[in-house]
Structure 1
Amino acid sequence: MTEPLSGRTIVVTRPRAQASRLADLIAGQGGEVVIFPLLEISPVADPGFLQAAVLGLDSCSLAIFISPNAVAFSMPVILGRRAWPAGLRAAAIGQSSVALLASYGIANTLAPTERFDSEALLELPELQRGSVAGRRVVIFRGNGGRELLAQTLRGRGAEVDYVTCYQRSAPTDAEPLRELWRSGQLDALTISSSEGLRNLVDLLDTPGRACLQSTPLFVPHQRIADLALALGLSRVILTGPADAGIMAALRAYHWR
């Protein structure tokens, strides 16, 4: 029996460290995978602020990890300098972050179970005003990003600090994608973040954007789909969340 993605070349655009599982799933369904990260992840240039913040964790009630990268770049520093504070609860947006925290011995992490975004995390009872007012919250993240979590939690009476533990940067060369388009071998892209999508559009010249316009984009969040449509892209497929949702949409798609 022919696999559902046989003969299809699909580009996975996650940061390289997070791309392998989805790539393996696509390959397991017969697809040819090209990994082309739209976000390059690296340590912060000056780790001094992160190291200092680690020493102040005893005064925090909640530590929020924005992504698996936030866990991967902060937890070795934290546990290399001290034990995890007994009174500090961890929270994460996605289940990959929860699993990675568990690998460092951090259990009972707060996280949404259906939608995996800041809005869903903010809906949890443990993040309502009655639970966070007057308490200190630390958010581990990369450079920049959305301000929704901090703004909402401050509005609910929490004291919130950001700790930048890694840097995100955009790729500078789109030639691997251009070559795939020239050879007619790029069937679809999976886009996992709005920032990554912006990086892709900025990276491409006019012919490249025309190729992107004709390429199916599989995105796991309405916010990314809305941005794609606002950027003039029309072949946008909104999938279910996480790898399972992306794979279901790839398998169900009526390929031309």
Structure 2
Amino acid sequence: MNKLLSGVRILVTRPEHQADNLSRLIEEQGGIAVRFPTLEIIAKDNALEIKQMLANPDLFQWLIFISANAVNFALKANDGKIACTKSVRFAAVGQSTAQAMRMAGLNVDLVPESGYNSEALLAMPELQQVEGQRFLIVRGEGGREQLATALRSRGAEVNYLEVYRRVIPRIDSSPVVELLAQHSLDIVTVTSAEALQNLKLMLDEKNNKLLSLITLVVVSNRIRCIAADMGFNRIIVTNSPIDTAILETVITCVTGE
């Protein structure tokens, strides 16, 4: 069987607990997955607040989960369950989040058929007339404000429940530095703006210059713009943030097909 990525070294910057699938897909095609997590996802120290907020979900008309991490950390802090009531509807920003919700036994009442961000969710017909409705957005600490801002502009009341935070991992960067010095790294994959910014912080100026010469595969035009501002020369955007789409884009970069 012809392995399309034979010998190709690909930097995988996903958090450690989320890197297995993409790394496996790369290795199945003969590639070398170089794991270098530039984000670590950890629980916030607010389990009591999470329990209190999720004890009565019917106080809200909508619960929106921003990511699979939002689902998993909310459940972890709330004894593995979230009550489903007829008065509350559950929404997911994208298909990966929806899958995590279904695996947790939650209803998925609304998820964009295409797209995987706040803009796609905001375009759904169900969220056009929301005046007077109450929303709880379950997310990580910080993050984009567009979803809440748009819903508030449509007359909704919006609260946040932050269940995790992102930090820069304390790991040895010397294996990546060595690959950069040898010009042996072929492609870099990045799935969030923060992961990209942390990657830059984890390397010095000399190695960032070397890094900017390597093909960068990202999962959104927003990240592409940030990468361009950071000096990356060749940036390719995937059709979707899922691992199979990232793999397909990497293969296209390598084979030109």
Equivalent position SS for 1:228: helix
Alignment correspondent of 2:135? 137
| CA–CA distance in structure 1, aligned partners of residues 163 and 87 of structure 2 | 22
Equivalent position SS for 1:253: helix
Structure 2 gap segments, 5+ residues each: none
The worse-fitting range, judged by mean Cα deviation, of 174-183 and 103-112 is 174-183
- What's the Cα RMSD here? 1.9
Where do 1:41-60 residues align within 5 Å? 41-60=41-60
The worse-fitting range, judged by mean Cα deviation, of 166-175 and 95-104 is 166-175
Structure 1 gap segments, 5+ residues each: none
**Are the counterparts in 2 of residues 188 and 217 from structure 1 also a CA contact under 8 Å?**
yes
Identity %, equivalent residues = 39
Letter in 1 for 2:58: D
1:177 aligns with 2:161: no
User: What is the Cα deviation at residue 172 of structure 1?
Assistant: 4.2
TM-score (norm 1): 0.92
| CA–CA distance in structure 2, aligned partners of residues 247 and 80 of structure 1 | 32
The worse-fitting range, judged by mean Cα deviation, of 179-188 and 198-207 is 179-188
The worse-fitting range, judged by mean Cα deviation, of 24-33 and 236-245 is 236-245
The worse-fitting range, judged by mean Cα deviation, of 170-179 and 77-86 is 77-86
Letter in 2 for 1:162: Y
1:85 aligns with 2:85: yes
User: What is the Cα deviation at residue 61 of structure 1?
Assistant: 1.0
User: What is the Cα deviation at residue 255 of structure 1?
Assistant: 6.4
Q: Decide whether aligned partners of structure 1 residues 78 and 61 sit closer, same or farther in structure 2, where only a CA change above 3 A counts.
A: farther
Alignment correspondent of 2:229? 230
Residues 88-107 of structure 1 show CA distances to partners (whole Å, capped at 9, x for unaligned) of 21111121111111111113
User: What is the Cα deviation at residue 254 of structure 1?
Assistant: 4.0
Residues 146-194 of structure 1 show CA distances to partners (whole Å, capped at 9, x for unaligned) of 0001111111111100001011112344333212223443211110011
Residues 224-255 of structure 1 show CA distances to partners (whole Å, capped at 9, x for unaligned) of 10110011111211221122322221111146
Where do 1:211-226 residues align within 5 Å? 211-226=210-225
